[in-house]
Amino acid sequence: MLACRGPALCTALRRAAPGGLASFHSSAPRCRAARVAVVLSGCGVYDGTEIHEASAVLVHLSRGGAEVQMYAPDVPQMHVIDHSKGQPAEAESRNVLVESARIARGKIASLAKLTTADHDAVIFPGGFGAAKNLSTFAVDGKDCKVNREVERVLKDFHKAGKPIGLCCISPVLAAKVLSGAEVTVGHEEEEGGKWPYAGTAGAIKELGAKHCVKEVTEAHVDTKNKVVTTPAFMCETALHHIFDGIGAM
């Protein structure tokens, strides 16, 4: 079970419970198994979900005893990147849901089927897919559009007072959709290449959200909006630090 004194999302789940903390307790001082939706954006860091981040999310949720269902929009990818070269594969086209199924081991549903009634929280791992397939942030920056199903999910969970977790670049989704949200993508200066995507913090501010500086092993909790974020691979660092930061989220 998710330990009640554990990660930030569990704390947010306790606060979000209609019946207060007691509704998440059994006879033992632990939360009931949370039902968590994980939204993927493809398979592979440069054109989809960052696989290490998705795996870290799933490992931490599994260790916490959560019941997990994965989703992805049934739409074409913006483009396909040859990950061995870091360049577009011009002749290829792929579907976000079909590619995400690789990470989900086939157990995935269309994002159109995701409802707040079936889940206690939703988590968006990072990867460029969040900025290319779940939104147009990679191309349009602060003027980006968000996939309508992604926007619906964010607004529905926010309205229901249920926690929303986002890591790496995906906090830009909350910044765009949820007015005045507080998020983190890490630091606001590149610091010699340690934070290569630090400019994203400025775009978040331009979107009307508040950016909070955090270390890669930390998470920021927007208690008002129940949005929990962590930098993940916005930082150039060892994999275990990414894993720990996602654990904090």
Single-letter residue type at 167: C
CA distance 36 to 48: 20
CA distance 205 to 211: 6
Q: H helices then E strands: how many in the chain? A: 9, 11
CA distance 121 to 37: 6
From 87, 11, 49, select the one nearest 166 (Cα to Cα): 49
Read off φ and ψ for residue 203, nearest 5 degrees. Answer: -65, -35
SS3 readout for 110-177 = EHHHCCHHHCCEEEECCCCHHHHCCECHHHHHHHCCECHHHHHHHHHHHHHCCCEEEECCCHHHHHHH
The length of the chain, given as a count of residues: 249
Read off φ and ψ for residue 228, nearest 5 degrees. Answer: -120, 125
Residues whose CB is less than 8 angstroms from the CB of residue 82 and which lie 6 or more positions away in sequence, other chains included: 88, 89
Contact 74, 95 (CB under 8 A): yes
Catalytic residue among 31, 167, 168, 235: 168
Please, what sign has the CA dihedral across residues 245, 84, 71, 179? positive
Establish whether 43 is a catalytic residue.
Answer: no
Catalytic residues: 168
